[in-house]
Amino acid sequence: MRMKKLLVFAVLSCLMFSCEKDEDEGHPVTIDGLKYYLYSQSAVIDWGNTSSGVLMIPSEVNYNGKKYIVKGMAAGAFTRSTELTKVIIPKTIDEIVHHVLNGMNGAISPDYMNPFAGCTALESIEVDKDNPFMCSVDGVLISKDKTRLYAYPAGAKRESYTISETITWIGANAFAFSQNLSTLFFRGTVTGDISEDAFEGMNTTTVIYVQQSEIEKVQKVFPGTVLAIDNN
């Protein structure tokens, strides 16, 4: 009987400890102007729409004496942060989640949507060179293996941009609100269809040049002019 009592006490103690340990998890908290959802040892940025100027996303945050590694960003985390000019992503972030709700990480894909859509002053997105998931080329956010384009900075001053031939996938809202581009070139091919929101809010006076095989795909998702690239 004594052994059973000790066992019950141990189980109850573990449960009490677990409840105490997880007290802050699954709840939104604001730290230095960014709202996070906290999990066991990680944090996901859920909202940062008041961000302005240069934002260096931290690799870790502390809350109630506990350290959390910043592992992800919600898809709309920085939507319409119109005063954000540059963002630096740490090596720890390895996913972009579709939504964060009621403490549940709603990840449906690590690359579902541009978290910076509507950041009309954003000129550059940079990534720590040791990030294993994503990187930056000319200020554009792409996958580490350079096959996926996640986010083009809407405030970039360039009037012409060439999507690398290695890119085979363009994410939702990737070029949202990019108003300065007059021409966009893409010499590669896309696997499957292009996201219907890939060019949402993009300046419709932009002329997009693509391979002959890609014209129909782009015309389905872009209301402006789509022409074949002259490969001569």
Q: What is the pLDDT of residues 143-160, one digit of tens each?
A: 999 999 999 999 999 999
pLDDT at 20: 40
Return d(Cα 37, Cα 50) in angstroms, integer: 17
**This prediction's pTM:** 0.82
pLDDT digits (tens, 9 = 90+) for 26-76: 678 999 989 998 988 889 888 777 778 999 999 999 999 999 999 988 887
pLDDT at 113: 74
User: May I ask the CATH class of domain 22-228?
Assistant: alpha beta
Cα 162 vs. chain centroid, distance in angstroms?
21
pLDDT at 23: 55
pLDDT of 6 over the 50 cut: no
What are the residue ranges spanned by the domains of the chain?
22-228
pLDDT at 50: 73
